[in-house]
Amino acid sequence: MSGVVVHLPRDCGGVDGDERCADAVTLRLGPGEVARFGRGSSRTPVELRLADAAISRLAGEIRAADDHWQLTNYSSTHSYLVENPEGAGEYLRVPPRRAGAPVPFEFARVVLPTRGERPVTFQVFAPDHVYLDTGAVGGPWGSRTVTAYSLDETATYFLVLVALCEPRLRDQSRVTVPTTPQIVDRLRTHTARTTLTARAVSSHIDYLAEQKLRIGGPEPDKGDRRNGKREEIVGLALRFGLVREEHLALLPPLTRAGGRERNTAR
Protein backbone atom coordinates (compact mmCIF):
# COMPACT_ATOMS: atom_id res chain seq x y z
CA MET A 1 0.00 0.00 0.00
CA SER A 2 1.05 3.59 -0.57
CA GLY A 3 1.59 5.87 2.38
CA VAL A 4 -0.08 9.08 3.46
CA VAL A 5 0.97 12.48 2.07
CA VAL A 6 0.33 15.51 4.30
CA HIS A 7 0.66 18.97 2.73
CA LEU A 8 0.67 22.29 4.61
CA PRO A 9 0.52 25.28 2.21
CA ARG A 10 2.89 28.24 2.53
CA ASP A 11 1.77 30.55 5.35
CA CYS A 12 2.57 34.15 6.22
CA GLY A 13 0.59 34.45 9.43
CA GLY A 14 3.56 34.03 11.72
CA VAL A 15 3.97 31.95 14.85
CA ASP A 16 3.83 33.72 18.23
CA GLY A 17 4.28 37.15 16.69
CA ASP A 18 6.80 36.11 14.04
CA GLU A 19 5.47 37.58 10.79
CA ARG A 20 7.89 35.83 8.47
CA CYS A 21 6.39 33.49 5.89
CA ALA A 22 6.65 29.78 6.62
CA ASP A 23 7.49 27.55 3.66
CA ALA A 24 5.09 24.87 2.50
CA VAL A 25 5.63 21.51 4.18
CA THR A 26 5.02 18.07 2.67
CA LEU A 27 5.29 14.94 4.83
CA ARG A 28 5.16 11.32 3.69
CA LEU A 29 4.14 8.67 6.20
CA GLY A 30 4.39 4.93 5.72
CA PRO A 31 1.98 2.49 7.43
CA GLY A 32 2.29 2.86 11.22
CA GLU A 33 4.14 6.19 11.06
CA VAL A 34 2.84 9.24 12.91
CA ALA A 35 3.02 13.02 12.36
CA ARG A 36 2.04 15.35 15.20
CA PHE A 37 0.68 18.84 14.53
CA GLY A 38 0.23 22.03 16.54
CA ARG A 39 2.06 25.27 17.36
CA GLY A 40 4.94 23.29 18.81
CA SER A 41 7.81 24.52 20.99
CA SER A 42 11.31 23.51 22.03
CA ARG A 43 9.74 21.19 24.60
CA THR A 44 6.91 20.04 22.34
CA PRO A 45 8.31 19.24 18.90
CA VAL A 46 5.82 18.68 16.09
CA GLU A 47 6.26 17.58 12.50
CA LEU A 48 3.57 19.97 11.22
CA ARG A 49 3.84 23.45 12.77
CA LEU A 50 0.61 25.47 12.57
CA ALA A 51 0.91 29.23 12.90
CA ASP A 52 -1.98 30.38 15.07
CA ALA A 53 -2.09 31.31 18.76
CA ALA A 54 -5.48 29.60 19.21
CA ILE A 55 -4.00 26.21 18.33
CA SER A 56 -2.48 24.10 21.11
CA ARG A 57 1.24 23.40 21.25
CA LEU A 58 0.29 19.77 20.60
CA ALA A 59 -3.07 19.80 18.82
CA GLY A 60 -3.27 16.31 17.37
CA GLU A 61 -1.64 13.61 15.31
CA ILE A 62 -2.07 11.74 12.04
CA ARG A 63 -1.34 8.03 11.89
CA ALA A 64 -1.01 6.17 8.59
CA ALA A 65 -2.63 2.74 8.34
CA ASP A 66 -2.45 0.19 5.53
CA ASP A 67 -5.40 1.56 3.55
CA HIS A 68 -6.52 4.69 5.41
CA TRP A 69 -5.38 7.18 8.03
CA GLN A 70 -6.47 8.12 11.54
CA LEU A 71 -6.79 11.48 13.26
CA THR A 72 -6.35 12.05 17.00
CA ASN A 73 -7.61 15.29 18.54
CA TYR A 74 -5.63 16.26 21.66
CA SER A 75 -7.71 19.39 22.29
CA SER A 76 -10.02 19.30 25.31
CA THR A 77 -12.26 22.10 23.97
CA HIS A 78 -12.30 22.20 20.13
CA SER A 79 -13.59 19.77 17.53
CA TYR A 80 -11.71 19.41 14.25
CA LEU A 81 -13.34 18.99 10.85
CA VAL A 82 -12.16 16.67 8.10
CA GLU A 83 -13.69 17.77 4.80
CA ASN A 84 -13.93 15.89 1.54
CA PRO A 85 -13.29 18.67 -1.04
CA GLU A 86 -14.66 16.38 -3.75
CA GLY A 87 -17.73 15.17 -1.86
CA ALA A 88 -20.23 18.04 -2.26
CA GLY A 89 -19.95 19.20 1.34
CA GLU A 90 -19.24 15.80 2.89
CA TYR A 91 -17.29 16.01 6.15
CA LEU A 92 -16.77 14.35 9.51
CA ARG A 93 -16.28 15.97 12.91
CA VAL A 94 -13.58 14.72 15.28
CA PRO A 95 -14.60 15.73 18.83
CA PRO A 96 -12.21 16.76 21.62
CA ARG A 97 -9.97 13.98 22.97
CA ARG A 98 -11.06 11.57 20.23
CA ALA A 99 -8.26 9.09 19.57
CA GLY A 100 -7.61 7.36 16.25
CA ALA A 101 -10.71 8.45 14.32
CA PRO A 102 -10.54 6.66 10.92
CA VAL A 103 -10.88 8.93 7.89
CA PRO A 104 -12.46 7.32 4.80
CA PHE A 105 -11.73 10.08 2.28
CA GLU A 106 -9.02 9.56 -0.33
CA PHE A 107 -8.33 13.30 -0.39
CA ALA A 108 -9.16 15.36 2.71
CA ARG A 109 -8.80 18.83 4.18
CA VAL A 110 -8.27 19.06 7.97
CA VAL A 111 -9.75 22.26 9.41
CA LEU A 112 -8.82 23.66 12.84
CA PRO A 113 -10.78 26.59 14.35
CA THR A 114 -8.96 29.85 15.08
CA ARG A 115 -9.82 33.39 16.22
CA GLY A 116 -8.86 34.83 12.86
CA GLU A 117 -10.90 35.34 9.73
CA ARG A 118 -9.86 32.01 8.28
CA PRO A 119 -9.34 28.62 9.92
CA VAL A 120 -6.01 26.81 9.68
CA THR A 121 -6.11 23.97 7.18
CA PHE A 122 -3.86 21.33 5.71
CA GLN A 123 -4.40 18.56 3.17
CA VAL A 124 -4.05 14.81 3.53
CA PHE A 125 -3.83 12.39 0.61
CA ALA A 126 -4.78 8.90 1.80
CA PRO A 127 -3.28 5.58 0.72
CA ASP A 128 -4.66 4.14 -2.49
CA HIS A 129 -8.21 2.91 -2.18
CA VAL A 130 -8.19 -0.68 -3.41
CA TYR A 131 -10.85 -1.87 -5.85
CA LEU A 132 -11.57 -5.50 -6.68
CA ASP A 133 -11.86 -6.89 -10.17
CA THR A 134 -15.55 -7.08 -11.09
CA GLY A 135 -15.09 -10.77 -11.84
CA ALA A 136 -13.65 -11.38 -8.39
CA VAL A 137 -16.67 -10.06 -6.50
CA GLY A 138 -18.38 -12.97 -4.75
CA GLY A 139 -15.50 -15.31 -5.47
CA PRO A 140 -13.14 -16.98 -2.99
CA TRP A 141 -11.41 -14.36 -0.82
CA GLY A 142 -7.97 -15.84 -1.43
CA SER A 143 -8.27 -15.52 -5.22
CA ARG A 144 -9.17 -11.83 -5.43
CA THR A 145 -7.30 -9.54 -7.84
CA VAL A 146 -6.82 -5.84 -7.25
CA THR A 147 -6.31 -3.15 -9.87
CA ALA A 148 -2.76 -2.02 -10.62
CA TYR A 149 -3.72 1.67 -10.72
CA SER A 150 -6.71 2.58 -8.54
CA LEU A 151 -8.01 5.85 -9.96
CA ASP A 152 -11.24 7.55 -8.97
CA GLU A 153 -12.66 9.12 -12.12
CA THR A 154 -14.79 11.51 -10.05
CA ALA A 155 -11.78 12.96 -8.18
CA THR A 156 -10.07 16.25 -8.96
CA TYR A 157 -6.70 14.55 -9.46
CA PHE A 158 -8.24 12.52 -12.31
CA LEU A 159 -9.59 15.69 -13.91
CA VAL A 160 -6.06 17.14 -13.73
CA LEU A 161 -4.76 13.93 -15.31
CA VAL A 162 -7.25 14.23 -18.18
CA ALA A 163 -6.22 17.86 -18.72
CA LEU A 164 -2.56 16.78 -18.85
CA CYS A 165 -3.36 14.13 -21.46
CA GLU A 166 -5.82 16.19 -23.52
CA PRO A 167 -3.41 17.61 -26.16
CA ARG A 168 -2.08 14.17 -27.07
CA LEU A 169 -5.54 12.61 -27.04
CA ARG A 170 -6.76 15.25 -29.51
CA ASP A 171 -3.59 15.20 -31.62
CA GLN A 172 -1.43 12.08 -31.70
CA SER A 173 1.69 14.10 -32.50
CA ARG A 174 4.36 14.67 -29.85
CA VAL A 175 2.89 17.90 -28.45
CA THR A 176 4.09 19.53 -25.25
CA VAL A 177 2.40 18.51 -22.00
CA PRO A 178 0.44 21.43 -20.48
CA THR A 179 2.04 23.49 -17.73
CA THR A 180 0.40 24.04 -14.35
CA PRO A 181 -0.91 27.55 -15.28
CA GLN A 182 -2.33 26.12 -18.51
CA ILE A 183 -4.21 23.42 -16.57
CA VAL A 184 -5.60 26.05 -14.17
CA ASP A 185 -6.80 28.04 -17.19
CA ARG A 186 -8.23 24.94 -18.89
CA LEU A 187 -10.32 24.02 -15.83
CA ARG A 188 -11.30 27.58 -14.91
CA THR A 189 -14.80 27.23 -16.38
CA HIS A 190 -15.47 23.78 -14.96
CA THR A 191 -18.72 23.99 -13.02
CA ALA A 192 -17.25 22.39 -9.88
CA ARG A 193 -13.58 23.40 -10.13
CA THR A 194 -13.63 27.18 -10.68
CA THR A 195 -11.47 27.86 -7.60
CA LEU A 196 -8.71 25.37 -8.44
CA THR A 197 -5.34 27.09 -7.87
CA ALA A 198 -1.89 26.47 -9.30
CA ARG A 199 -0.74 25.22 -5.90
CA ALA A 200 -3.61 22.73 -5.78
CA VAL A 201 -2.87 21.51 -9.31
CA SER A 202 0.80 20.98 -8.40
CA SER A 203 -0.28 18.97 -5.33
CA HIS A 204 -2.51 16.78 -7.49
CA ILE A 205 0.31 16.22 -9.98
CA ASP A 206 2.65 15.20 -7.16
CA TYR A 207 -0.03 12.87 -5.78
CA LEU A 208 -0.53 11.25 -9.19
CA ALA A 209 3.19 10.74 -9.71
CA GLU A 210 4.17 9.56 -6.25
CA GLN A 211 1.09 7.77 -4.94
CA LYS A 212 -1.33 6.77 -7.70
CA LEU A 213 1.03 5.99 -10.61
CA ARG A 214 4.20 5.45 -8.52
CA ILE A 215 6.59 7.21 -10.88
CA GLY A 216 10.14 7.51 -9.61
CA GLY A 217 13.58 8.12 -11.03
CA PRO A 218 16.32 10.75 -10.85
CA GLU A 219 15.36 14.39 -10.36
CA PRO A 220 18.12 16.69 -11.65
CA ASP A 221 16.68 20.13 -10.86
CA LYS A 222 13.34 21.74 -10.08
CA GLY A 223 12.40 22.78 -13.62
CA ASP A 224 13.44 19.52 -15.25
CA ARG A 225 11.86 17.55 -12.40
CA ARG A 226 8.45 19.17 -12.87
CA ASN A 227 8.50 18.87 -16.68
CA GLY A 228 9.79 15.31 -16.59
CA LYS A 229 7.20 14.28 -14.02
CA ARG A 230 4.33 15.54 -16.19
CA GLU A 231 5.77 13.79 -19.25
CA GLU A 232 6.03 10.49 -17.38
CA ILE A 233 2.50 10.80 -16.00
CA VAL A 234 1.03 11.39 -19.45
CA GLY A 235 3.13 8.64 -21.06
CA LEU A 236 2.07 6.02 -18.51
CA ALA A 237 -1.59 7.07 -18.49
CA LEU A 238 -1.86 6.84 -22.27
CA ARG A 239 0.16 3.64 -22.66
CA PHE A 240 -2.04 1.76 -20.21
CA GLY A 241 -5.29 3.37 -21.30
CA LEU A 242 -5.93 4.97 -17.91
CA VAL A 243 -7.14 8.08 -19.76
CA ARG A 244 -9.06 7.64 -23.02
CA GLU A 245 -10.89 9.85 -25.49
CA GLU A 246 -14.23 9.39 -23.71
CA HIS A 247 -12.72 10.99 -20.60
CA LEU A 248 -12.37 14.29 -22.48
CA ALA A 249 -16.07 14.80 -21.79
CA LEU A 250 -15.10 15.50 -18.16
CA LEU A 251 -13.38 18.74 -19.25
CA PRO A 252 -15.10 22.06 -20.01
CA PRO A 253 -16.08 22.31 -23.69
CA LEU A 254 -13.74 23.83 -26.22
CA THR A 255 -14.72 26.57 -28.64
CA ARG A 256 -14.45 25.97 -32.35
CA ALA A 257 -11.22 27.95 -32.36
CA GLY A 258 -9.73 25.59 -29.77
CA GLY A 259 -10.03 27.91 -26.77
CA ARG A 260 -12.32 27.70 -23.75
CA GLU A 261 -15.95 28.72 -23.89
CA ARG A 262 -16.44 32.13 -22.37
CA ASN A 263 -18.45 32.23 -19.17
CA THR A 264 -21.42 34.44 -20.10
CA ALA A 265 -23.32 33.80 -16.86
CA ARG A 266 -21.56 36.63 -15.02
pLDDT in tens, 64-89: 987 789 999 999 999 999 998 876 67
The more confidently predicted of residues 85 and 145 is 85
pLDDT for residue 186 is more than 90: yes
Confidence of residue 51 (pLDDT cuts 50, 70, 90): confident
Per residue in 11-41, pLDDT (tens digit) is: 655 444 444 455 778 898 988 999 999 999 9
Are 48 and 8 within 8 A, CB to CB? Answer: yes
Least confident segment among 42-46, 226-230, 233-237: 226-230
- Could you give the CA distance from residue 60 to residue 74 in angstroms, rounded to a whole number? 5
Q: How far apart are CA 148 and CA 242, in angstroms?
A: 11
Strand 91-94 to 101-103 pairing? unpaired
Give the mean pLDDT of 214-224. Answer: 55
What is the rounded distance in angstroms from the CA atom of residue 111 to the CA atom of residue 89?
A: 13
Q: Which amino acid is at 37?
A: F
The answer to whether residue 111 scores a pLDDT higher than 80 is yes
Whole-angstrom distance, CA of residue 106 vs CA of residue 128: 7
* Degrees to nearest 5, angle at CA 165 with 161 and 169: 145
**Per-residue model confidence (pLDDT) at position 90:** 85
Contact 48, 122 (CB under 8 A): yes
Q: Could you give the strand order of the β-sheet that contains 107-112, starting from the edge strand earlier in sequence?
A: 25-29, 4-8, 120-125, 107-112, 80-83, 91-94
**Which residue segments constitute the domains of the chain, with CATH numbers given?**
4-125 (2.60.200.20), 156-250 (no CATH)
The 3-class secondary structure across the chain, one letter per residue, is: CCCEEEEECCECCCECCECCCECCEEEEECCCCEEEEECCCCCCCCCEECCCCCCCCCCEEEEECCCCEEEEECCCCCCEEEECCCCCCCEEEECCCCCCEEECCCEEEEEECCCCCCCEEEEEECCCCCCECHHHCCCCHHHCCECCCCCCCCCHHHHHHHHHHHHHHHCCCCCCCCCHHHHHHHCCCCCCCCCCCHHHHHHHHHHHHHHHCCCCCCCCCHHHHHHHHHHHHHHHHHHCCCCCHHHHHHCCCECCCCCECCCCCC
Mean pLDDT for 96-103 is 95
